[in-house]
Amino acid sequence: MNPDNDEEKTMTKIEVNVFGYDPKWKDGGPHNYFTGKFVYQQICPEDQQFMDTKGNLNLESLEITDEVEIIYNWVSPWVANGGKLFKAEFWKEPDDNFWVVKGNGKPKLSDKAPGTGQFVVERLSPTKLKVTDKNDDTKHYTYAIAVRLFYAEQEEPDKSEGEFFVDDPKITNRGNNRVVR
Protein backbone atom coordinates (compact mmCIF):
# COMPACT_ATOMS: atom_id res chain seq x y z
CA MET A 1 0.00 0.00 0.00
CA ASN A 2 1.25 3.45 -0.90
CA PRO A 3 -0.60 6.15 1.08
CA ASP A 4 1.02 8.91 -1.05
CA ASN A 5 -0.55 7.67 -4.29
CA ASP A 6 -4.25 8.63 -4.39
CA GLU A 7 -4.72 6.99 -7.79
CA GLU A 8 -3.64 3.57 -6.57
CA LYS A 9 -6.61 1.60 -5.26
CA THR A 10 -5.62 -0.01 -2.00
CA MET A 11 -7.30 -2.45 0.32
CA THR A 12 -6.64 -3.33 3.93
CA LYS A 13 -6.94 -7.08 4.53
CA ILE A 14 -7.89 -8.52 7.89
CA GLU A 15 -8.34 -12.21 8.69
CA VAL A 16 -9.80 -13.51 11.93
CA ASN A 17 -10.66 -16.87 13.45
CA VAL A 18 -14.12 -16.86 15.04
CA PHE A 19 -14.93 -19.20 17.92
CA GLY A 20 -18.52 -19.63 19.13
CA TYR A 21 -19.82 -21.52 22.15
CA ASP A 22 -22.52 -21.65 24.85
CA PRO A 23 -25.53 -20.92 22.59
CA LYS A 24 -28.73 -19.71 24.28
CA TRP A 25 -32.07 -19.50 22.49
CA LYS A 26 -33.35 -15.94 22.09
CA ASP A 27 -37.06 -15.80 21.35
CA GLY A 28 -39.36 -12.87 20.93
CA GLY A 29 -40.14 -10.06 18.53
CA PRO A 30 -37.97 -10.13 15.44
CA HIS A 31 -35.32 -12.23 17.22
CA ASN A 32 -35.64 -16.00 16.96
CA TYR A 33 -32.14 -17.41 17.03
CA PHE A 34 -29.29 -18.53 19.26
CA THR A 35 -26.93 -16.01 20.83
CA GLY A 36 -23.87 -17.04 22.78
CA LYS A 37 -20.24 -16.36 23.44
CA PHE A 38 -17.90 -15.50 20.60
CA VAL A 39 -14.18 -14.79 20.48
CA TYR A 40 -12.42 -13.18 17.51
CA GLN A 41 -8.72 -13.92 17.02
CA GLN A 42 -7.01 -11.76 14.41
CA ILE A 43 -4.43 -13.79 12.50
CA CYS A 44 -3.62 -11.31 9.72
CA PRO A 45 -2.01 -8.86 9.68
CA GLU A 46 0.32 -10.02 12.41
CA ASP A 47 2.06 -6.68 13.01
CA GLN A 48 -0.97 -4.54 13.97
CA GLN A 49 -4.24 -5.35 15.72
CA PHE A 50 -7.29 -4.03 13.89
CA MET A 51 -10.12 -6.15 15.28
CA ASP A 52 -10.57 -6.73 18.99
CA THR A 53 -11.53 -10.05 20.58
CA LYS A 54 -15.21 -9.00 20.56
CA GLY A 55 -15.17 -8.53 16.77
CA ASN A 56 -15.30 -4.72 16.91
CA LEU A 57 -13.50 -2.75 14.23
CA ASN A 58 -12.96 1.04 14.38
CA LEU A 59 -11.56 2.06 11.00
CA GLU A 60 -11.60 5.75 11.94
CA SER A 61 -9.41 5.43 15.04
CA LEU A 62 -7.06 3.11 13.14
CA GLU A 63 -6.82 5.75 10.39
CA ILE A 64 -7.71 3.23 7.70
CA THR A 65 -8.97 5.14 4.66
CA ASP A 66 -9.15 2.44 2.01
CA GLU A 67 -11.54 -0.44 1.45
CA VAL A 68 -11.37 -3.26 3.96
CA GLU A 69 -11.58 -6.97 3.21
CA ILE A 70 -12.34 -9.14 6.23
CA ILE A 71 -12.04 -12.91 6.12
CA TYR A 72 -13.93 -14.66 8.92
CA ASN A 73 -12.77 -18.25 9.54
CA TRP A 74 -15.40 -20.17 11.52
CA VAL A 75 -13.34 -22.50 13.73
CA SER A 76 -16.05 -24.05 15.92
CA PRO A 77 -17.38 -26.81 13.66
CA TRP A 78 -19.35 -28.40 16.54
CA VAL A 79 -21.26 -26.53 19.28
CA ALA A 80 -22.87 -28.22 22.30
CA ASN A 81 -26.23 -27.08 23.70
CA GLY A 82 -28.63 -28.81 26.06
CA GLY A 83 -26.87 -32.15 25.81
CA LYS A 84 -27.05 -32.09 22.00
CA LEU A 85 -24.25 -31.56 19.54
CA PHE A 86 -24.83 -29.10 16.69
CA LYS A 87 -22.84 -28.80 13.49
CA ALA A 88 -22.09 -25.12 12.86
CA GLU A 89 -21.25 -23.54 9.50
CA PHE A 90 -21.91 -20.54 7.29
CA TRP A 91 -25.12 -20.92 5.30
CA LYS A 92 -25.10 -21.26 1.50
CA GLU A 93 -26.63 -17.84 0.87
CA PRO A 94 -23.80 -15.37 1.64
CA ASP A 95 -26.08 -12.53 2.74
CA ASP A 96 -27.73 -14.76 5.37
CA ASN A 97 -24.40 -14.88 7.24
CA PHE A 98 -23.82 -11.13 7.67
CA TRP A 99 -26.55 -8.81 8.93
CA VAL A 100 -25.93 -5.09 9.32
CA VAL A 101 -27.77 -2.00 10.63
CA LYS A 102 -26.66 1.61 10.95
CA GLY A 103 -26.13 2.70 14.53
CA ASN A 104 -26.60 0.55 17.60
CA GLY A 105 -29.66 -1.52 16.69
CA LYS A 106 -29.87 -5.29 16.94
CA PRO A 107 -29.42 -6.75 13.45
CA LYS A 108 -31.87 -9.41 12.32
CA LEU A 109 -32.16 -11.63 9.26
CA SER A 110 -34.10 -8.98 7.33
CA ASP A 111 -31.07 -6.68 7.78
CA LYS A 112 -28.79 -8.92 5.75
CA ALA A 113 -26.25 -7.19 3.52
CA PRO A 114 -27.84 -6.51 0.11
CA GLY A 115 -24.94 -7.98 -1.87
CA THR A 116 -23.96 -4.57 -3.25
CA GLY A 117 -23.31 -1.19 -1.69
CA GLN A 118 -21.28 -0.50 1.44
CA PHE A 119 -20.88 -4.19 2.37
CA VAL A 120 -20.42 -7.07 -0.06
CA VAL A 121 -20.48 -10.61 1.34
CA GLU A 122 -19.11 -13.80 -0.23
CA ARG A 123 -19.26 -17.29 1.25
CA LEU A 124 -15.98 -18.89 0.27
CA SER A 125 -16.73 -22.19 2.01
CA PRO A 126 -18.88 -23.53 4.88
CA THR A 127 -16.19 -22.22 7.26
CA LYS A 128 -14.99 -19.06 5.47
CA LEU A 129 -16.81 -15.78 4.86
CA LYS A 130 -15.41 -12.71 3.07
CA VAL A 131 -16.86 -9.26 3.75
CA THR A 132 -15.72 -6.18 1.83
CA ASP A 133 -16.48 -2.81 3.43
CA LYS A 134 -16.10 0.21 1.12
CA ASN A 135 -15.36 2.29 4.24
CA ASP A 136 -16.42 5.52 2.54
CA ASP A 137 -19.67 6.61 4.16
CA THR A 138 -18.67 7.91 7.65
CA LYS A 139 -21.26 5.64 9.31
CA HIS A 140 -21.23 3.48 12.43
CA TYR A 141 -22.72 -0.03 12.08
CA THR A 142 -23.68 -2.95 14.22
CA TYR A 143 -23.22 -6.16 12.28
CA ALA A 144 -24.01 -9.76 13.04
CA ILE A 145 -22.06 -12.81 12.09
CA ALA A 146 -24.61 -15.59 11.74
CA VAL A 147 -23.80 -19.27 11.31
CA ARG A 148 -26.35 -22.06 11.12
CA LEU A 149 -26.58 -24.76 13.79
CA PHE A 150 -27.79 -28.22 12.78
CA TYR A 151 -28.33 -31.29 14.91
CA ALA A 152 -25.36 -33.60 14.46
CA GLU A 153 -27.51 -36.26 12.81
CA GLN A 154 -29.02 -33.89 10.22
CA GLU A 155 -27.97 -34.41 6.62
CA GLU A 156 -28.88 -32.69 3.37
CA PRO A 157 -31.59 -31.71 2.52
CA ASP A 158 -32.84 -31.48 6.15
CA LYS A 159 -30.31 -28.74 6.92
CA SER A 160 -32.95 -26.15 6.02
CA GLU A 161 -34.27 -26.71 9.55
CA GLY A 162 -31.10 -25.35 11.16
CA GLU A 163 -31.20 -22.27 13.39
CA PHE A 164 -29.00 -19.17 13.35
CA PHE A 165 -26.26 -18.65 15.97
CA VAL A 166 -25.54 -14.91 16.06
CA ASP A 167 -23.05 -12.39 17.46
CA ASP A 168 -23.28 -8.60 16.93
CA PRO A 169 -20.02 -6.58 17.02
CA LYS A 170 -19.55 -3.01 15.70
CA ILE A 171 -17.84 -1.46 12.67
CA THR A 172 -17.11 2.28 12.54
CA ASN A 173 -16.16 3.57 9.07
CA ARG A 174 -13.74 6.43 8.43
CA GLY A 175 -14.94 9.98 8.99
CA ASN A 176 -16.97 9.01 12.08
CA ASN A 177 -15.85 10.15 15.52
CA ARG A 178 -17.76 7.47 17.42
CA VAL A 179 -15.80 5.43 19.96
CA VAL A 180 -16.45 1.67 19.78
CA ARG A 181 -16.92 0.07 23.21
pLDDT digits (tens, 9 = 90+) for 47-63: 999 999 999 998 878 88
Provide the pLDDT for residue 19: 98
Spatial distance between the Cα atoms of 147 and 78, rounded to a whole number of angstroms: 11
Positive or negative CA dihedral for 153, 158, 161, 167?
A: positive
Cβ contacts of 119 within 8 Å, gap of 6 or more: 98, 100, 113, 131, 132, 133, 134, 143
Q: State the pTM of this model.
A: 0.85
How many whole angstroms separate alpha carbon 158 and alpha carbon 136? 41
- Local confidence band at 160 (pLDDT 50, 70, 90 cut-offs): low
Helices first, then strands: H and E counts in the chain:
0, 12
pLDDT at 86 over 80: yes
Q: What is the pLDDT of residue 154?
A: 54
Beta bridge partners of 44: 15
Tens of pLDDT, residues 32-50 = 789 999 999 999 999 999 9
Calpha distance 113→99 (Å, rounded)? 6
Nearest to 142 by CA among 113, 91, 178, 99: 99
Residue 128 has pLDDT above 80, yes or no: yes
What single-letter DSSP state applies at residue 172? E
Question: What pLDDT is recorded for position 153?
Answer: 61
Lowest-confidence segment of 17-31, 75-89, 97-111, 150-164 by average pLDDT: 150-164
- So what's the pLDDT on residue 101? 87
Classify strands 98-102 and 140-151 as parallel, antiparallel or unpaired: antiparallel
